[in-house]
Amino acid sequence: AARYDIVIVGGGSAGMATAASILKRRRGIRLAIVEPSDVHYYQPGWTMVGAGVFNSSVTRRKQAGLIPKGARWIKASAVQFCPDDKQVILSDGRHISYAVLIVCPGLKLDWDAIPGLAETLGRNGVTSNYRYDLAPYTHRLAREFQGGRALFTQPVMPIKCAGAPQKAMYLSCHRWEKSGILARSNVQFHSAGAALFGVPDYIPALMEYVDRYGIHLNFGSKLVAVDGAARTAIFQQSDSEGTRQIAERFDMIHVVPPQIAPDFIRSSPLAAASGFVEVDEATLRHPRHPEIFALGDACATSNAKTAAAARKQAPVVAVNALAALDGRPPVAAYDGYGSCPLTVEAGRIVLAEFGYGGKLLPSFPRWLIDGTRPSRLSWLLKDSILPPVYWHGMLKGREWMVRPQPIGTSLQS
């Protein structure tokens, strides 16, 4: 088996940022990235594609052009971990050996868990910003909507970017408000959860928009089936009266699919009970295999699953992985930072930034951006600043504002 100092499984936001960070710190290391896809997506841009603000092409780039210099790209999927042999088995049957393994293959969008959904996506008014090819359809549906019933769904947590189900809704409502269509529309938010957002500090600002747009909130309401041809969605409603099924007709529906750990992770010896990779919340190291780390959407930590989280996790994993390679204990800690820019209207964002336990971790002084209030500057950040920060900063190992902090101190710089 080919042998590497460090093998990274997954070349998405987390994997590429970590590879770049490691190679910035130590050149000449034998580092391989296992990644089957030819293209790399900037998924945070898909909300903007769905709103017609970005063209979808700006959210995708060729993987080949992004692989950091000095890294070896192995174009295959990982299918099995053999932690006792320190090997990963690939889809083409190859075995590769590592001294340190970093696991970050993202999560699985479980479209098939909802009967009728997969076959009607992209047709019959059924869309989702959670797929590159469907986000433009969200924009088309919102543009062509002539009033009627518009449904927006949110599945059971955890999901990547927990605010994205609402973002699609607010941006659509804002469009319809401007064109006068909102007044003859019935907009419903169906969330399997019990609250509008996981961190209470942001809810008042969001509720102002819910009221302004006249959105009907339905909590404990889980999408369980879609009949595209009949334009009907079936929800399982759970409340104090028990559990029952409710059929809702729609003219358009924006679906966020259930999200689970990838199958090969869930069935592996690395998995926690949740199916995601078990790691220490601070060091991101596996509790039973000290030479294995995980980050991004695939790990079982309780932070918000976002690219913003991966941006802060990557340097922590980089320094801890290098320490492990040298036979030393972890030196850096992650504070659970994640960020969710809630696009409440075209031009304004409620910038949720928080860490473990819902602790607010704002990046900016309050006089510049108060994250609990809608802000024009936050929109500018999302629209114009974060995409280049992603492509030219995060994926290149340029870590502005993300110095990894020693264990036992706050990570916030």
Angle at 43 between CA 337 and CA 257, to 5 degrees: 90
Query: Minimum CB separation from ligand FAD for residue 36, in Å?
Result: 6
Q: Please indicate whether residue 340 is annotated as part of the active site.
A: yes
Q: Is 254 in the site for ligand FAD (CB under 6 A)?
A: no
Q: Is 161 in the site for ligand FAD (CB under 6 A)?
A: yes
Q: Is 160 in the site for ligand FAD (CB under 6 A)?
A: yes
Q: Is 202 in the site for ligand FAD (CB under 6 A)?
A: no
Q: Please indicate whether residue 173 is annotated as part of the active site.
A: no
Query: Minimum CB separation from ligand FAD for residue 224, in Å?
Result: 21
Of residues 72-131, which lie at the interface with ligand FAD (CB under 6 A)?
Answer: 77-78, 104-106, 129-130
Q: Is 308 in the site for ligand FAD (CB under 6 A)?
A: yes
Query: Minimum CB separation from ligand FAD for residue 314, in Å?
Result: 9
Query: Minimum CB separation from ligand FAD for residue 321, in Å?
Result: 15
Buried b (16+ CB within 10 A) or exposed e, 75-96: bbbbeebebeebbbbbeeeeeb
Toward ligand FAD, which CB reaches closer, 48 or 181?
A: 48
Toward ligand FAD, which CB reaches closer, 125 or 338?
A: 338
Toward ligand FAD, which CB reaches closer, 129 or 185?
A: 129
- Binding-site residue total for ligand FAD (CB under 6 A)? 37
Q: Which of 104, 173, 299, 340 is catalytic?
A: 340
Query: Minimum CB separation from ligand FAD for residue 339, in Å?
Result: 6
Q: Is 339 in the site for ligand FAD (CB under 6 A)?
A: yes
Q: Is 264 in the site for ligand FAD (CB under 6 A)?
A: yes
Toward ligand FAD, which CB reaches closer, 50 or 330?
A: 50
Query: Minimum CB separation from ligand FAD for residue 12, in Å?
Result: 2
Toward ligand FAD, which CB reaches closer, 324 or 386?
A: 386
Q: Which residues does the annotation mark as catalytic? A: 161, 340
Site for ligand FAD, rule CB under 6 A: 9-15, 34-37, 43-44, 46-47, 77-78, 104-106, 129-130, 160-161, 164, 262, 264, 296-298, 305-308, 310, 339, 341
